[in-house]
Structure 1
Amino acid sequence: MLDLVALVLVVVGVGVLFSPKRAYAFPLLGVGLLLLVLSHSFVVVPAGHVGVVFNILRGVQPAPFGEGVHFVVPGLQQVILYDARVKEVTLSAPHEGERRADTSIRARSKEGLEIGVDVTVQYRILKERAAKLHQEVGPNYLETLIVPQVRSKVRDAVGQYNAAELISTQRTALETSVIQGLEETLLQYHIELVSVLLREIRIPETVAKVIEEKQTAEQQVQIEINRRKQAEIAAQRRVIEAQGERDAAILRAEGEAKAIELRGRALKAAPEVVQLTFAEKLAPGVQTVFVPSTGNFLLDLRGLQGGGQGR
């Protein structure tokens, strides 16, 4: 806006210079040129950015500008803005319907199979070291540094594993390997690695089919093993139950034998108990009395009653 005002004043001053009112031309030109100089004397660094200052006499200044308004000497100092926020780059194959170039990474597995990898890398420059980045790499650090390094580290990591491992057990290990290699390299060039996301790993269809069939066979074997284990557990349960029933029967038999033994001892010690037990077992209609004597005999009341009546 200030540039536009200065330009208008300069144009008007030039026009007045060739008119009868040329006395106003020089003040207008002076104010216009002054505004033009002032408009180039202040630089605004937006939020999330950093300004690297290049001095034509001294080169790149080590301390970059932070966010806000800064004064520079027009014609002597130049400010190059760098975005210091988290940024990302994605290298992937186009999906169905997309019209763009295939930027995915092609690598070879440990056994030599071609593997396709889609990856997203998140990064950001280190603000305090932006001047070094500008000196050593420049503003095009994404194309000249990050993308080639990502491709190289992914290829190196993929070559450490078999194809079957990459799509099953070693996916996380592959990601960790890429992070470790890339993090160290980028830090040397004043860039912080935020994360590496393996979006997709593709192997040849024929290999994928073989791996799928192998996994299906392994699952069937595992199912059969589980069934056998369940049958063994059920058999063991039945054995334990039978042993429990046997032990219980033995204990009952032992208890009954002990009771008989104790009862025999009691009868032997007191024979009268036999008579009492016998009397308790008689039917209520039997008219019989027990007369205790040394001979232990029984009297028939019916016979006695019949003999009395005959007299």
Structure 2
Amino acid sequence: MTKRQEQGGEGAPRRAFPVRLGLIVGGLVLAGLVVEQGLRVVPAGNVGVVFSALGGVKSPPLQEGVHFVTPFVDRVNLYSTRTQEVTLSHARGEGDEGAIRARSKEGLDITADVTVRYAINPGRAAELHQKLGPAYERVLIAPEIRSKVRDAIGQVNAADLISTQRQAVEVRVSEALKQEFARNNILLDAVLLRELRIPESVAKAIEQKQTAEQQVAVERNRLQQANISAQRAVVEAEGAAKASVARARGEAQALSLRGRALRENPQLIQLTVAEKLSPGINTVMLPSDGNFLLDLKTLQGQGVGATKPGD
């Protein structure tokens, strides 16, 4: 064996070692890449909808936490499950859309500022992803709010809208949106009619009409009070008349009873006469069967005459 052969035999293992090391490092890198592509974290307040390049959208969605999906094949789309809101207002802020323009029942222009709170149905996020995708607010939420608010305002007069029917319109919009959202896997939380604006000239006319109606109501109340007072006086007069009739009837009945008593008991006549004459005239009623009155003066005169001498 020559010297070069000996040197070459010694160098072969040295060249094999870097190749093996490269394979190990490459394997580790590939494994790390696979792990990185396969591990997915779903943050709090979210669900993850998995889309597979081989099988499409997977259900059910991934809940909060760490999950392993098929690397390079599955993609996770995050959807917030927290309550969200969309505002349609004339004072447009960041992310807000413009106010809703509608017409009342009589055709007057009405401008409405509305805020709607909602959340997606976590268990149906996969269906939401299939039907609408991440742009569901622009595609569904805002257009449906505008449509339902216009429909509700169109059923009410402007005067009623800003006075007595505001809450009824809010309820009508809520019921319509709840049904439409439910068909698209969205849960309605609340509908808030923040402001309803009508033309200034119409507002003044409505205010004047309401003022006149209030004055009429005040006058009607006064008239009712006067009628009540008059009715009370009539009732009191009728009561007094009925009381007089009752007293007269009682007195007549008393006289009738007294007359019948006198007819049945003649002695009461003498008693009554005695009561009327007393105490000016001295009389006495003797309790004898004859029932007569004795004049004391006559008895005294007869007694004196009987005792005169010579008689």
Q: Which residue in the other structure is 2:254 paired with?
A: 259
Structure 1 alignment gaps of length 5 or more: 1-20
Q: Which residue in the other structure is 1:196 paired with?
A: 191
Q: Which residue in the other structure is 1:214 paired with?
A: 209
CA distance in 2, matches of 1:148, 1:234: 60
Instruction: Give the aligned residue type for 2:235.
Output: I
Shift of 1:226: 2.0
Q: 1:35 aligns with which of 8, 11, 32?
A: 32
Q: 2:49 aligns with which of 28, 49, 52?
A: 52
Contact 1:107 1:159 in 2 (8 A): yes
Shift of 1:33: 4.5
Percent identity reads 52
User: How do 1:22-171 and structure 2 match up within 5 A?
Assistant: 27=24, 30-94=27-91, 103-171=98-166
CA distance in 2, matches of 1:164, 1:183: 27
Q: 2:238 aligns with which of 236, 243, 251?
A: 243
Two-structure CA RMSD over aligned residues (Å): 3.2
Moved more, 298-307 or 58-67: 298-307
Q: Partner of 2:249: helix, strand, or coil?
A: helix
CA distance in 2, matches of 1:244, 1:218: 38
Shift of 1:139: 0.8
Shift of 1:79: 0.5
Moved more, 276-285 or 108-117: 276-285
Shift of 1:115: 0.9
Shift of 1:220: 1.6
Instruction: Give the aligned residue type for 1:237.
Output: R
Deviation per residue, 1:270-308 (Å, 9 max, x gap) = 433222233334444644445776986634156457757
Q: Which residue in the other structure is 1:8 paired with?
A: none
Q: 1:275 aligns with which of 270, 279, 284?
A: 270
**TM-score, normalization: structure 2?**
0.78
Shift of 1:88: 1.6
Structure 2 alignment gaps of length 5 or more: 1-17
Shift of 1:141: 1.3
Contact 1:106 1:155 in 2 (8 A): yes
CA distance in 2, matches of 1:187, 1:100: 24
**TM-score, normalization: structure 1?**
0.78
CA distance in 2, matches of 1:175, 1:128: 28
